[in-house]
């Protein structure tokens, strides 16, 4: 290769920014010439592509006689060198190239590239070859998106993306890029198979305990079968019933949760179907998933944006970013770069947002999973849903029951061996004790109670998707609430007016009784006339009977608010507009920041033209020479200008959007009726107007939200506002609803009151704080924790989806149970990560609803408070149910213990236990779900998750160690009474078991010398079963009434839960039927009992009831004492 050729090659490096590329050129077979080549940015490449730029293809050094197959293989890997570069090591020793030089000559050779060559990172996320772990990927997704496509000059961006704004990409190059980057769609993550989810319901949580019980029953039956040719079927029946209980409750629970956790399917619904694309200078209507980076796309009103686009040109473009950023106002977009933050700059529109006005042309800068929406989708689907507090509590209960059962069973297994029982018999005893400790009916009871509560909550507009989350909401200690649509009404409303040099508060009631201004005043007449004429919003047809504030409008939110305000005040806007037809209009644009319309107006019998203008107040004032005050047009002097500025600042400080209004009656001699106005080459005056006044708007709080926030405070729940809206607006709404309470100041407020810089104020002096997203971006985890710990009233504004997630994680690090409300796609990661995600049912996106655990059907924050109360109530009622259930486990287990320890006949059979757990006790336990809340349920702080568990040592101690012992004493009192009634004194029944169960012995003597055959003994044993069973039922009457409350005395709570009363009757009826129905003695082992046996346990039941109420009264009288701490569960 000649030096001339080399200089030609190097001569292509003439623009700024170069990097050295080392090369060697083979010259014949005998040697090589080498050196370093300065590579120019932005367009230097080697080898030609479809746009005339050159490419470098990585390959090894090959001889001139390489095969065609080798050449094809060598051309597979292409690397483009451009201005936006990153370090890419080139590990092959050489790079071959084919290029036409400046003079058209063909050059060939090979280039050896240095390891530190810079290579364009066109879509860095797609080109990462290093596999990262799942946690690293999530960490990347949580980080703020770093991009510069909105900042670089547009021509530089075109060069980087190798596209042309007029002709677009070529079909061939687009196909290559599509193959490289993949389709413009969201790839769903690997979902857990439905069979796995079903098995988790069948074998997870409390169901494990029942499966263990069933297996042990099968083993016990097997042991009995090995020892006898005709074993009793008790254990077999119990095993089958346990399996059936688990299967039914597991299937029911799976069915309830079947529709949840389908987040990605909702994201798919956001994908636009088609897009208008420019390729090869032709307009094509392509499937949106075929778009690639660099495509030129056109969008218009009604379209959904098909990818992240940099705006090239726009005409009155407005997009709805509410699902992405939380901003309720439509956002104008144009080619102008206005903000470093890509979410706030005006020259970018985002994938899946809606175009609500105008048209635009843009270049695709990100597709598929690399879009902002794609990152949110990956972040949401990649997060593990938090386990519910109830599932953790039930897991703890299972472990506790297992430990107790195994410990007791092991102790008595050892005792049985020491007493001389053979190993198989001792194993049988061990299994019997473990099974007796299993509350067979509790799983079904809890499932039914949660379902009943979920239905009750649905009637109160809280739809629960996951049954276990019912209790989680009651445990929450922090609510991170979105602003728009949750705390506010999600409709812009005129809040204040300024005319006649006075600020007035508007009245939004239908009757307008509370209006503080005169509707007939000249100032309001002039202001309202401009507001309704210079306004493109219209009421939709067919809403004549609908209240004005609830009517649907065609038009943006601000103009709709103005329309409703004027309609409420003067009415008949449609007729007024008809009397003043519009003849010309200049639409609002972001450059001028005003809108102008010209109308034909009847002015005292004379038809004239009225020019009406509205827009940014400072821009409107610039075009005015007078200001209307009390019907007079006063020259706009310094005094009036200062009055305007003060009113503007006052309204702006309230977080309200302020618009200015002005008008001008055009001279009839210059602008007669029929004059041809031109809105492009303006032929009418836009200066010298008369300023009419100001109108300020805000999305107002829902009426019942302040009361709901106050209830949360009383319940010890911290309410944090997390919004994408402006900090001033967020702070104003926070003060109105009570999130920032009256008298509490932020550090900015303190600095302003002291007249010192903010830096001189200690942040800990302020109880309230407003944190901007730009500040949050630079905070470390410890700094976020400090903000959350040291401020009781917090507002986070201008937050991104990743920041919302970080806030939730920060609250969880504080040990809080976090509830998150949201309605947009931007809320979905935080909804998924929170302990209880709450989506909006009306305004909420499908994505947020799928990511959430609960849906507010009325979008009302106050409904959350209702849900919290229901959640706390179900926690209390579950504790009562578990206490009620645990109590009868003791009298069920004691017969087996005494059977082993002192060899008395067995007092209770396995089938009898089954009828207690799944027969008499299950309906009373469920009836506790209907128990009303105790007086203090919303006046106490959220429970401490570490100390105030669902099942505590105190609960076990009271229910099992106190109530259970009383029940066991009552049952054994009846047990010994029955034996004594039939001739066996209590002392004589000790060590009687062996001969009692020996079928070959038919002459067992009682205390009076009477002989009992084996059949007679069995009849007496079944009578004992019935009497023991009946004694448990009688004691459970008292236990149920005692468990009605945790703190209140019975006389205070009353017996108003009529379902509980009915349950007592049902429990008694089941007991009577089992004991007295003829024909079931042999199959179910129930024999009739004498009526006065019912009296035996009653003194114990009354004692239990009296002890319960005395304990609660003393605990209330001596708060914080031993009784309250140790004897109240």
Q: How many residues does the chain have?
A: 1129
CA-CA distance, 1116 to 1129, in Å (whole number)? 13
What burial class does residue 310 get, using C-beta atoms within 10 Å of its C-beta: 0-12 exposed, 13-18 middle, 19+ buried? buried
CA-CA distance, 1061 to 1040, in Å (whole number)? 10
Q: Does residue 517 sit in helix, strand or coil?
A: coil
Distances (CA, A) of 693 to 558, 910, 1051: 16, 85, 65
Pick the catalytic residue from 289, 320, 482, 725.
482
Tokens read off for 111: 């280039």
Distances (CA, A) of 633 to 13, 616, 624, 627, 991: 67, 21, 11, 5, 113
793 near 768, Cβ under 8 Å? Answer: yes
Tokens read off for 718: 């911290």
Give the gyration radius of the chain's Cα atoms. 40
User: What is the biggest distance separating any 2 CA atoms in the chain, rounded to whole angstroms?
Assistant: 135
Q: Could you give the angle at which helices 423-436 and 861-901 cross, rounded to 10 degrees?
A: 150
Q: Is 482 a catalytic residue?
A: yes
CA-CA distance, 115 to 89, in Å (whole number)? 4
Distances (CA, A) of 876 to 82, 646, 934, 1063: 66, 55, 9, 19
CA-CA distance, 743 to 79, in Å (whole number)? 62
CA-CA distance, 97 to 39, in Å (whole number)? 14
Tokens read off for 258: 């079947």
Q: Does residue 61 sit in helix, strand or coil?
A: coil
Residues 6+ away with beta carbon under 8 Å from 884: 921, 924, 925, 928, 959, 1036, 1039, 1040, 1043
Give ∠ CA 876-878-881 in degrees, rounded to 5.
115
Tokens read off for 45: 């490449």
The string of DSSP codes covering 213-256 is HHHHHHHHHHHHHHH-SS--SHHHHHHHHHHHHHHHHHHHHHHH
CA-CA distance, 777 to 343, in Å (whole number)? 14
766 near 746, Cβ under 8 Å? Answer: yes
540 near 553, Cβ under 8 Å? Answer: yes
Q: Does residue 365 sit in helix, strand or coil?
A: strand
Q: Does residue 47 sit in helix, strand or coil?
A: coil
- Residue holding tokens 């079963």? 1025
Phi, psi (rounded to 5 degrees) for 762? -70, 120
Tokens read off for 436: 């007796």
CA-CA distance, 50 to 273, in Å (whole number)? 28
CA-CA distance, 2 to 22, in Å (whole number)? 17
Q: What is the DSSP letter of 488?
A: B
608: number of Cβ within 10 Å: 17
870 near 464, Cβ under 8 Å? Answer: no
Identify the CA nearest to 186 among candidates 382, 434, 384: 382
Distances (CA, A) of 168 to 334, 358, 774: 20, 22, 36
Identify the CA nearest to 148 among candidates 207, 84, 198, 197: 84
Distances (CA, A) of 361 to 278, 289, 298: 10, 18, 4
Instruction: Give me the active site residues, please.
Output: 482
């Amino acid at each position: 290769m000649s030096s001339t050729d080399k200089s030609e090659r190097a001569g292509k490096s003439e623009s700024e920014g170069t990097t050295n590329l080392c090369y060697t050129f083979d010259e014949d077979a005998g040697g090589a010439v080498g050196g370093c080549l300065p590579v120019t940015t932005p367009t230097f490449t080697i080898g030609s592509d479809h746009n005339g730029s050159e490419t470098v293809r990585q390959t090894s050094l090959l001889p001139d006689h390489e095969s065609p197959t080798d050449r094809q293989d060598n051309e597979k890997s292409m690397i483009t060198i451009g201005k936006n570069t990153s370090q890419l090591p080139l590990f092959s020793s050489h790079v071959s190239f084919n290029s036409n030089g400046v003079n058209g000559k063909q050059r060939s050779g090979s280039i050896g590239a240095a390891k530190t060559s810079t290579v364009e990172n066109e879509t860095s996320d797609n080109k990462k070859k290093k596999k990262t772990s799942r946690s690293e990927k999530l960490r990347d997704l949580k980080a703020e998106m770093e991009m510069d496509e909105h900042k670089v000059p547009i021509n530089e961006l075109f060069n980087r993306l190798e596209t042309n704004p007029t002709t677009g990409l070529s079909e061939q190059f687009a196909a290559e890029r599509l193959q490289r980057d993949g389709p413009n769609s969201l790839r769903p993550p690997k979902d857990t198979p439905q069979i796995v989810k079903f098995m988790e319901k069948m074998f997870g949580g409390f169901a494990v305990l029942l499966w263990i019980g069933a297996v042990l029953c099968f083993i016990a039956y097997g042991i009995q079968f090995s020892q006898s040719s005709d074993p009793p079927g008790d254990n077999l029946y119990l095993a089958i019933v346990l399996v059936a209980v688990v299967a039914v409750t597991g299937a029911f629970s799976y069915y309830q949760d079947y529709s949840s956790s389908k987040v990605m399917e909702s994201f798919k619904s956001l994908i636009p179907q088609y897009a208008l694309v420019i390729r090869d200078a032709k307009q094509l209507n392509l499937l949106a998933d075929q778009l690639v980076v660099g495509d030129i796309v056109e969008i218009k009103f009604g379209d959904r944006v098909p990818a992240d686009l940099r705006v090239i040109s726009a005409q009155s473009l407005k997009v709805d970013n509410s699902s992405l950023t939380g901003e309720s106002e439509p956002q104008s977009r144009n080619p102008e770069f206005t903000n470093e933050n890509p979410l706030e700059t005006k020259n970018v529109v985002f994938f899946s947002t809606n175009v609500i006005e105008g048209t635009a042309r843009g270049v695709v800068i990100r597709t598929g999973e690399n879009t902002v929406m794609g990152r949110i989708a990956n972040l949401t689907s990649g997060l593990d849903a938090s386990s519910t507090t109830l599932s953790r509590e039930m897991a703890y209960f299972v472990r506790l029951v297992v430990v107790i059962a195994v410990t007791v069973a092991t102790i008595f297994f050892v005792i049985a061996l020491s007493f001389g029982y053979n190993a198989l018999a001792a194993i049988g005893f061990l299994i019997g004790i473990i099974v007796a400790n299993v509350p067979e009916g509790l799983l079904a009871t809890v499932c039914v109670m949660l379902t009943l509560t979920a239905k009750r909550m649905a009637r109160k507009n809280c739809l629960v998707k996951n049954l276990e989350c019912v209790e989680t909401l009651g445990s929450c200690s922090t609510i991170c609430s979105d602003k728009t649509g949750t705390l506010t009404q999600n409709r812009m409303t005129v809040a204040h007016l300024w005319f006649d040099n006075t600020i007035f508060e508007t009245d939004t009631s239908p009757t307008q009784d509370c209006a503080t201004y005169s509707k007939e005043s000249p100032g309001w007449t002039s202001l309202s006339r401009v507001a309704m004429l210079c306004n493109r919003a219209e009421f939709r047809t067919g809403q004549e009977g609908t209240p004005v504030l609830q009517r649907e409008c065609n038009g943006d939110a601000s103009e709709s608010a103005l329309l409703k305000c004027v309609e409420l005040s003067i009415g008949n806007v449609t007729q007024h507009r008809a009397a003043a037809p519009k003849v010309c209009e200049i639409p609002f644009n972001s450059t001028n920041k005003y809108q102008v319309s010209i109308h034909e107006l009847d002015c005292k019998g004379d038809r004239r033209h009225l020019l009406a203008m509205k827009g940014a107040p400072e821009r409107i004032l610039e075009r005015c020479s007078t200001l209307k005050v009390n019907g007079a047009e006063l020259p706009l002097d310094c005094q009036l200008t200062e009055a305007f500025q003060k009113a503007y600042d006052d309204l702006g400080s309230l977080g309200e959007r302020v618009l200015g209004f002005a008008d001008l009656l055009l001279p009839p001699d210059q602008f007669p009726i029929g004059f041809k106005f031109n809105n492009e080459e303006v032929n009418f005056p836009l200066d010298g107007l008369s300023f009419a006044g100001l109108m300020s708007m805000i999305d107002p709080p829902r009426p019942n939200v302040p009361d709901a926030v106050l209830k949360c405070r009383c319940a010890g729940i911290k309410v944090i506002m997390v919004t994408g809206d402006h900090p001033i607006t967020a702070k104003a709404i926070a003060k109105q609803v009570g999130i920032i309470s009256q008298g509490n100041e932020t550090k900015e407020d303190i600095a302003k009151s002291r007249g010192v810089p903010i830096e001189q104020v200690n942040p800990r002096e302020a109880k309230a704080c407003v944190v901007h997203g730009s500040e949050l971006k630079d905070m470390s985890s410890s700094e976020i924790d400090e903000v959350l710990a040291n401020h009781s009233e917090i507002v986070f504004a201008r937050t991104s989806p990743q920041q919302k997630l970080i806030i939730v994680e920060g609250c969880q690090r504080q040990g809080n149970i976090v509830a998150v409300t949201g309605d947009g796609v931007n809320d979905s990661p935080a909804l998924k990560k929170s302990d209880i995600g709450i989506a909006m049912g009306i305004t909420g996106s499908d994505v947020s609803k799928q990511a959430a655990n609960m849906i507010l059907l009325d979008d009302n924050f106050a409904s959350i408070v209702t849900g919290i109360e229901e959640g706390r109530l179900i926690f209390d009622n579950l504790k009562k149910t578990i206490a009620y259930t645990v109590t009868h486990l003791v009298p069920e287990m004691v017969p087996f213990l005494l059977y082993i320890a002192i060899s008395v006949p067995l007092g209770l059979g396995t089938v009898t236990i089954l009828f207690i757990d799944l027969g008499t006790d299950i309906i009373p336990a469920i009836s506790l779900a209907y128990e009303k809340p105790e007086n203090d349920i919303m006046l106490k702080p959220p429970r401490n998750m570490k100390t105030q568990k669902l099942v505590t040592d105190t609960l076990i101690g009271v229910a099992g160690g106190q109530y259970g012992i009383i029940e066991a004493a009552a049952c054994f009192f009846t047990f010994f009474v029955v034996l004594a009634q039939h001739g066996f004194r209590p002392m004589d029944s000790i060590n009687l078991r062996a001969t009692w169960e020996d079928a070959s012995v038919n002459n067992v003597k009682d205390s009076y010398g009477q002989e009992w055959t084996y059949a007679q003994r069995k009849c007496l044993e079944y009578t004992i079963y019935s009497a023991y069973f009946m004694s448990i039922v009688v004691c459970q009457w008292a236990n149920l009434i005692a468990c009605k409350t945790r703190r209140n005395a019975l006389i205070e709570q009353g017996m108003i839960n009529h379902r509980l009363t009915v349950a007592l009757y049902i429990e008694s009826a089941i007991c009577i039927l089992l004991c007295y129905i003829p024909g079931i003695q042999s199959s179910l082992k129930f024999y009739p009992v004498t009526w006065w046996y019912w009296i035996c346990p009653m003194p114990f039941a009354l004692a239990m009831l009296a002890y319960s109420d005395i304990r609660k009264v003393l605990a209330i009288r001596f708060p914080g004492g031993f009784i309250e701490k140790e004897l109240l569960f």
